[in-house]
């Protein structure tokens, strides 16, 4: 994860809605990426990921999708001329 986005900060540096949405997106991406990677490793080893693990991956994807949309919305409100 850190190779793509760098380390995640503990707290946002400001109250900027775009920055906050980006932090949410980064956290959701990290969670989803970790779950997908873990499930892929299990599959590659010949094991089957548990239903709970697969459900967690699906829920993490839903959170990532919501975070992505929130980031787009925040950017559109902050910078309406770029859309």
pTM of the model: 0.78
Q: Which residues contact 75 (CB under 8 A, 6 or more apart)?
A: 18, 21, 82, 83
Q: Which residue, chain included where needed, has tokens 């499930």?
A: 39
Task: List, for residues 63-81, the tens digit of each pLDDT value.
Answer: 999 999 999 999 999 988 8
Q: How many other CB atoms are found less than 10 A from the CB of residue 60?
A: 19
Q: Is the pLDDT of residue 20 over 50?
A: yes
Give yes or no for a contact between 32 and 5, defined as CB atoms under 8 angstroms apart.
Answer: no
């Amino acid at each position: 994860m850190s190779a793509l986005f760098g380390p995640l900060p503990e707290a946002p540096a400001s109250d900027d809605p775009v920055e906050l949405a980006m932090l949410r997106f980064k956290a959701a991406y990290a969670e989803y990426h970790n779950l997908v990677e873990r499930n892929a490793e299990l599959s590659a080893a010949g094991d089957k990921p548990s239903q709970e693990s697969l459900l967690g991956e699906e829920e993490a994807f839903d959170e990532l999708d919501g975070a992505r949309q929130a980031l787009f919305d925040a950017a559109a409100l902050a910078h309406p001329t770029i859309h």
